[in-house]
Each structure stands twice: as C-alpha cells, then as structure tokens.
C-alpha cells in the first residue's frame, strides 16, 4: 500500500538534490545503499530495511533517507520504528502521503483508535486519490478491529467502488468491501463484490477469485502449482528409473565378480586336452 511516487529502485530528483549537500564520496555511498534498498523492496524487505538503516547512519538529516527507512521498516513489519520515521518524514519534508501507512502501523500495534485519529488529520483532504483510498481501507479495518463491522461497511461504500479505472487501488477497495460484507454474514453480496474485485485484479494479487470460489464451495485450483507437482512427479519417476537401472547394472557386475571358482576350474579342465599316455 505504498503510494505511487514515494520510492523506487532508482533515486528521484528530490533525493538526488539532497545528496548534493553531502561530500561526493559520502553522497555516492548513501546513494548506493538507497538504490539497493529500493531494488530489494518487493522481494526482500528485511534486506531493503538494513540498507536503508545504513544510509540513515551515514546521512540521518536527509528527508529522503528517513523516508526510505520508514517505508522499509513498515514493509519489514518493524512498526514502532516505521511510525517514528514517518513522523520524522512529515516534520522534515511536509510529505503527508505517509498517513495511510502510519494508520496501518497503529492498527498493527493494536491501537485502532489512533488509526482512526490519523484518518481525521486535517491534511487528509490534500492527499492523492490512491492514498485516500488506502486510508479508507485502513479505517474500515480499524472499525472491524473494534468490532464495528457495520461501520466498516459504511466507510467503504464510496462512489469509487464502481469507478471505471485500472488503478491499483480499485481491486483492493472492492476486496476490502467484499471482505467486510462476508464478516457481516452478507454472503451473497460479498460474493458479488469478490467477483468484481477479481475482475479488476489483473495479476491476482488480492486473492479475490479464491475467496469467491471458497464462498461458492468450490476448490480453487492453482494451475501453476499443478504444473509444478507434475514436474516433480516426472522428476521422481526419472530418479526411480535411474536407480533401478543402476541396481540392474550392479547385479550384473556382481554376478561377474563373484562367479563360482569351482565352475571356472571345471571349465578350464574341459578346455585343456588330456595328455596322451606314452
């Protein structure tokens, strides 16, 4: 749920401008750690976090560096540190796009009331559309944490649910709404919205199709896993055949190595002609 434009594998103009305030050798070192952090962000968030922390140790006064630490700490589930860093980012840079992630940290730390307080921040109206949608999803989650499922559903009943867009937030919004309906035992409505979420989810990242199948009492089959299982079975069969071949060869070799010496001598005797009596 990282808002677009906050970070990436390469440095943006703002961070490059900040780095110019450092000595050249130090700026290069900090840049290397920030770029590495961005590249590891999706697949290895803990490693991305360690790179960002190293950059902070070298240049803690740069807002871009603190932002990198905040985001990587959040993705690596170090929520206390993430909150501290997000607060520093807001203070140092005036960037309020981090509000949704801050609220989600509060939820993760078991403080839904504080998450709701952040959702009422005066800067919310100035946030980009993706961040506002993410904040709605977090707010609904906080309501559910407090046992207020009906209120969670109401929070998510916004015009954007039916908006025609390919934005990444649309399947997430529809999934959150469907999930809240399912929690309220409004199964038929939930099923409709899980299907709508799946229809907008090109890469299947939400798992909406699986949830819809589950509600319909169907077993969802992952074709990729099936193909992997088939490959494993073929490989096991080949290994079994190879092992059997080795055993057969060994048995043949054993028969040659351990032939009966008496039989060999008898064969030799038959082959030697008897000496004629003189």
d(CA 69, CA 86): 9
pTM over 0.85: no
CA proximity to 68, closest of 132, 10, 119, 20: 10
In 3D, which of 114, 112, 139, 123 has the Cα closest to residue 89? Answer: 123
Please answer whether residues 102 and 3 qualify as being in contact, where contact means their C-beta atoms are separated by less than 8 angstroms. Answer: no
Domain boundaries, position 20: 1-95
Phi, psi of 158 (to 5 degrees): -120, 160
pLDDT at residue 110, rounded to an integer: 98
- CA atoms of 123 and 242, how far apart (whole Å): 68
In a shared domain, residues 30 and 64:
yes
Residue 247 falls within a domain, yes or no?
no
SS3 at position 94? coil
Q: Do 39 and 91 fall within a single domain?
A: yes
Is position 255 within any domain?
no
pLDDT in tens, the chain (278 residues): 554 434 444 688 889 999 999 999 999 999 999 999 999 999 999 999 999 999 999 999 999 999 999 999 999 999 999 999 999 999 999 999 999 999 999 999 999 999 999 999 999 999 999 999 999 999 999 999 999 999 999 999 999 999 999 999 999 999 999 999 999 999 999 999 999 999 999 999 999 999 999 999 875 555 555 566 666 666 666 666 555 554 454 554 544 443 444 544 444 444 444 444 43
Rg for the chain, CA atoms, rounded: 33
Q: Is residue 264 part of a domain?
A: no
- My answer on whether 177 and 224 are in the same domain is yes
When divided into structural domains, the chain yields a total of 3
Tell whether 215 and 143 lie within a shared domain: no
């Amino acid at each position: 749920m990282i808002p677009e434009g906050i970070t990436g594998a390469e440095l943006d103009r703002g961070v490059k401008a900040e780095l110019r305030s450092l000595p050249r050798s130090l700026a290069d070192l900090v840049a290397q750690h920030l770029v590495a952090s961005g590249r590891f962000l999706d697949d290895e968030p803990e490693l991305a976090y360690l790179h960002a922390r190293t950059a902070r140790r070298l240049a803690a006064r740069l807002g871009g560096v603190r932002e990198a630490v905040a985001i990587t700490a959040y993705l690596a589930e170090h929520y206390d540190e993430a909150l501290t860093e997000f607060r520093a980012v807001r203070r140092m840079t005036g960037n309020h796009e981090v509000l949704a992630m801050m609220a989600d940290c509060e939820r993760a730390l078991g403080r839904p009331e504080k998450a709701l307080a952040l959702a009422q921040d005066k800067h919310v109206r100035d946030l980009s559309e993706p961040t506002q949608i993410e904040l709605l999803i977090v707010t609904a989650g906080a309501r559910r944490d407090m046992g207020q499922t009906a209120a969670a559903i109401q929070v998510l009943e916004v015009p954007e649910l039916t908006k025609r867009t390919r934005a990444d937030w649309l399947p997430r919004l529809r999934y959150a709404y469907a999930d809240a309906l399912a929690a309220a035992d409004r199964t038929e409505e939930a099923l409709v919205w899980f299907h709508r979420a799946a229809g907008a989810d090109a890469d299947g990242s939400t798992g909406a199709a699986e949830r819809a199948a589950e509600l319909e009492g169907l077993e969802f089959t992952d074709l990729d896993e099936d193909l992997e299982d088939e490959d494993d079975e073929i490989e096991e069969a080949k290994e079994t055949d190879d092992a059997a071949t080795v055993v057969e060869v060994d048995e043949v070799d054993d028969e040659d190595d351990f032939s009966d010496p008496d039989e060999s001598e008898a064969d030799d005797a038959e082959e030697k002609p008897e000496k004629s009596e003189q």
